[in-house]
Chains A and B, each alone.
Chain A
Amino acid sequence: MFVSLNWLKNYIDIENISTEDLAERITKTGIEVEGIEYIAEQSTNVVVGYVKKCEQHPNADKLNLCQVDVGDEELQIICGAPNIAQGQKVAVAKPGAVLPGNFKIKKAKLRGVESNGMICSLQELGIEEKFVPKDVAEGIFVFPNDAEVGADALQLLNLDDAIIELGLTPNRSDALSMLGVAYEVAAILDVPIRFPEENVKTAEEQAVDYVSVKVEDSDANPYYGAFVVKDIEIGPSPLWMRNYLIAAGIRPINNVVDITNYVLLEYGQPLHAFDFDKFGSKEIVVRRAQQDEKIQTLDDQERTLSSEHLVITNGQEPTAIAGVMGGAESEVSEQTTTVLLEAAYFDPKVVRIGSKDHGLRSESSIRFEKGVDPNRVKSAGMRACQLLSQYANGTVLSGVAEFDELDKEEKTVEFSSSRINARLGTAISNDEMADILRKLNINYKLNGDTFTVHVPTRRQDITIFEDMLEEIARIYGYDNLPYTLPQGASQAGGLTDLQQLKRDIKQYFESAGLMESITYSLTSQARSQLLVSPEVKEKAVTPVALSMPMSEEHSTLRLSMLPELLDSLAYNTARKQSNLAYYELGTIFLSEQEQVTKQPEEKLRAAGALTGDWITHPWQQEKRQVDFYLVKGILQGLFETLNVTAEYKQTKIDGMHPGRTAQILVGGTSIGFLGQVHPKLQKDFDLKDTYVFDLDLDYLFEIHKNEPSFAKIPRYPSVSRDIALVVEEAVHAGDVQATIQQAGGELVKDVQVFDVYQGEHLEDGKKSIAFNLLYLDPERTLKDEEVEESYQAILYAVKDAHDAELRG
């Protein structure tokens, strides 16, 4: 809502406060001022001039040489506007004047002739093209004849105005009118309000003689009033009215249309003017539209209607979509002499549907959608009649043809001052509260400390105690509320074990050298199929999709964070940042339903993606690229932190390198995978070798048990033994290790691979794996024979299970 302060001054006195202070106070009291605009802040020295003489420029066809009386002197000015003519009163920027854009007017010579100033168009004076009335859009602005020569043109054009833009929250539709803003500002400044003139001398003829009103759906249209004004003379509306409309962002058209718009802005009540002679009948019937019924609207579009829409008809055909837009057929034109003026209350929902279905959001529909003041509908009609009589020479017929089932009663809300104070943490006295209500122009009765408030119908947002609490609090001033801390029993806040664990996991990854990243949960349909972990794939029938995505790119809920993580890597490598190690903790969305009807299961997972060099500063050491075992090492550390034992199984996953991917299992349950991204997919993302992992954290957290206790530090020495075994290339080290562990017996506390060799001195197709074994008995010193016995058992077992030979 744009509020012209000059206009507002008609209702309340705001002379004693600066625009900035006023804006600040409005903001702090309840409605955010989003901006202040001074239309012609920099303009000076523009006056009304009388064109005494206007002749063609001796040296230019399209220029005119004018003699202009500006009061204290006569200026010779050259003007190129096509509409300039002798006898006009025009806006003259005198030499030394400054126009918007810091445009300075100086004496000049145009084609050899002196020009001492400029005759201005509205655009040149700083008014936006779209608000300039069409008749003066192509040339200079012409003042009405009564404009005084030499007067300040900026003031006459209201260009000395300041416009404040109010950002209205949905509850404050009462401020969608100048009167509403006046009430608000009056409460803030504690000043009285001057109300507009609604009384008008009416003719003897009655409106009901001209037209009847019938409403078929009283829920959708509880009030419909039709006023009739005849003998209308269509013409421009008065300059002040045009100025105000422009300030509010509405383009002036003619007096009748301008008056309906002016009252809309003044009262917040939309009105519609029909040309009575073109209305097509003498009866107004408001009804639901029929299926596929058509109407040509004011904007010359044909609209197809349905029973969802409410229409105004002449008994036969629709003449307007209620509250949304009028029909072209009955539009007011230059020829109109009798106006049928509609002042109605339409149900907010009905208007919302009508405006949404036809893509028409207008100043009218916005107000109907929020619910207009039931007690201002008819008076707005009367105000418009008064203006039509005054500014369009109309004769107003007496009375109104109406249908009225509108509830106009003021609701009551009761509250005690003690409850208000208890809720606010204040000690506001009854007198102070009463004073606040008086400032708000709200009537009340006080009984003891109980206020019974009659809520004005303009404030549709006030219905319950808490609404009054807000009114009292905001006028009292939020700044005046004390700072307190809650008095309730204090409790120890904190993270749950799982939340703490999540933080620990993050910290682990970060100290292991990975950076946390955050990607979008919504991905593309195609990407949602990629790099899905086996245990997820098994459960998720189809990825969950949005019903109306904004783009295919973000249309589907992810089953893995990896595709978007790869995208992040690609984003970086495209910017020459090629050594990257990322992880993310986030949710994936699992649904076992083909057609989703219930919330998908949300699983917390940890994913990572690494590419490029791991060790990048090679002056002393070799450069090392990220590889499978680096990533596996990081995960091993994680599992150790979580105190779980993981197994790794060669596996194949869509989008992964078939030979370099391992499924990870804990106690036989799949919890994720790691490995290299398939070179084809790497190429799709323009990535070099990239390694990823994806883990089910929810499951890991569930099985994770770590209750640290003290284990005695062994007092006896351990014995270390190395063993190098030659096996077929295809034999997995992990399997051999498991055999060793099992065959070695209880004394073997640890088995580690420390070397893998292939090549010289070994048969083709064979490899040697060297293990280090750690023997320990915490209770005593081991005997050589025991160790040897276990060693031999191991040799026997690996020979048996893997055809392994001791390397000679």
Chain B
Amino acid sequence: MKERLLELQTEALAKVEEASTLKDLQDIRVAYLGKKGPITEVLRGMGKLSKEERPVIGELANKVREAIASELDNKKEHLEAIELEKKLEAETIDVTLPGRPVQVGGPHLLTSIVEEIEDLFIGMGFEVREGPEVETDYYNFEALNLPKDHPARDMQDSFYITEELLMRTHTSPVQARTMGEYQGSQPVKMICPGKVYRRDTDDATHSHQFTQVEGLYVDKDVRMSDLKGVLNRFAKQLFGEEREIRLRPSFFPFTEPSVEMDISCKVCHGHGCSVCKGTGWIEILGGGMVHPRVLEMAGYDSNEYSGFAFGMGPERIAMLKYGVDDIRHFYTNDVRFLTQYHKAK
């Protein structure tokens, strides 16, 4: 019997070795290990054996079973792996075909610039204020020290609706409104972005509608050096740490002294090149110390309070920062323009 069992083992293992499909293995399992299989048959004849032989043969029979079962399992695992491999091979795709596109939008370049400026000043403790685009003559001009016959009104020809109402020519009226609201009761730290309008014929450098961001800081003992410090921080953050600023005297009716701020040219770092027209500097914004009459008109005592104000054009900043060559691009909404600025920075 012992020989028979060992014979069966050799025979079964040979068959397992030969098997090439899972079904072959299943057949072998049924044939050798099933209830009607030869090993069971051998065991059934155990009754004829002596008391001493029985456990020996029993143990051997179990060993044979285990050896066959174990080999079957090994082989099965092996065949399964091959089969999976085949299946996956068949599933191969062309990874170079394009992905299913997701429709993505994005902000307008001007909005990006304005929000960048907003965030910059918010970081310095400023609040963001808005105001009406149709303004009264009072807030647009008079409250900013531009009385009715002031020659500087020539500087910004306006779209009037009635004698007293017009499309605002700058966002400065928001400063007057904010100060007027507080009536000298508290400091003001604000910027006001928005659309403004002037009587200009649209061309590469002029637009009858454009954007402005103005800032105002009024408190006790505000110094002109503070204006310089704040603008310097702003310019470095917006344009890069390596850029320098300089202030030049200028004139605006609502500030005294008034300044224009230049930044050093990105291309030549102040040495002079064609981008900066040889000067080494590029004009960015205007500003100055708030004119005492503007403070007084809004209810601030100009002996106690002082402040600075500044204003800039996001279009100009965008044009300088990205080299946009025509201001009309901001308003024609050419998709080939808009999408250029949708990428993460």
Q: A-side interface residues toward B, CB under 8 Å?
A: 24, 27-32, 169-172, 348-349, 352, 369-370, 422-426, 464-467, 469-470, 473-474, 478-479, 481-496, 499, 503, 506, 509-522, 544-550, 554, 557, 568, 571-572, 575, 577, 580-583, 587, 589, 596-600, 602, 614-617, 619-621
Contacts and interface: CB of A to CB of B under 8 A. Distances in A.
Nearest to A516: B108
B161 A483 contact: no
Contacts of B178: none
Nearest to B101: A617
23 contacts: A28-B249, A352-B151, A423-B223, A466-B291, A481-B225, A483-B232, A484-B229, A489-B187, A491-B189, A493-B124, A495-B128, A503-B115, A519-B331, A522-B209, A544-B161, A550-B199, A568-B333, A571-B334, A596-B162, A596-B165, A598-B165, A615-B101, A619-B97
Interface in B225-245: 225-226, 228-230, 232-233
Contacts, number: 250
B225 A518 contact: no
Interface residues of B, number: 88
Nearest to A371: B151
Contact of A422 (B105, B130, B201, B221): B221
A120 to B, nearest CB: 30
B76 to A, nearest CB: 38
B115 A515 contact: no
B134 interface: yes
Contacts of B123: 493
Contacts of A516: 105-108, 111, 338
Contact of B226 (A24, A29, A425, A557): A425
A550 B198 CA distance: 10
Contacts of B197: 521-522
Contacts of A620: 97, 100
B317 to A, nearest CB: 15
B110 A518 contact: yes
B274 interface: no
Given A518-B331, A521-B209, 16 more contacts: A29-B249, A31-B249, A348-B151, A349-B149, A466-B291, A478-B246, A478-B247, A481-B228, A482-B225, A488-B221, A513-B103, A516-B111, A520-B331, A544-B134, A587-B195, A619-B97
A518 B257 contact: no
Contacts of B226: 425, 484-487
A464 B292 contact: yes
B151 A493 contact: no
Contacts of A587: 133, 195
Contact of A424 (B108, B159, B223, B342): B223
Nearest to A549: B159
A597 B257 CA distance: 36
Contact of A499 (B128, B132, B187): B128
Contacts of B279: 24
Contacts of A596: 161-162, 165
Contacts of B208: 520, 522, 550, 554
Given A478-B247, A492-B125, A520-B331, A513 B104 contact: yes
Given A473-B224, A518-B110, A511 B122 contact: no
B301 interface: no
Interface in B49-86: none
A483 B105 contact: no
Contact of A518 (B108, B201, B217, B251): B108
B249 A30 contact: yes
B256 A580 contact: no
Interface in B21-67: none
Contact of A547 (B106, B162, B248): B162
A602 B195 CA distance: 13
A423 B248 CA distance: 17
Contacts of A466: 256-257, 289, 291-292
A349 B187 CA distance: 38
Given A470-B256, A478-B247, A617-B100, A572 B334 contact: yes
B249 A424 contact: no
A615 B217 CA distance: 49
Nearest to A482: B225
- 4 A-B pairs closest in CB distance: A425-B225, A513-B103, A169-B251, A425-B223
Contacts of B209: 520-522
B251 A572 contact: no
A602 B132 contact: yes
Which of A170, A348, A621 neighbours the largest number of chain B CB atoms within 10 Å of its CB? A170
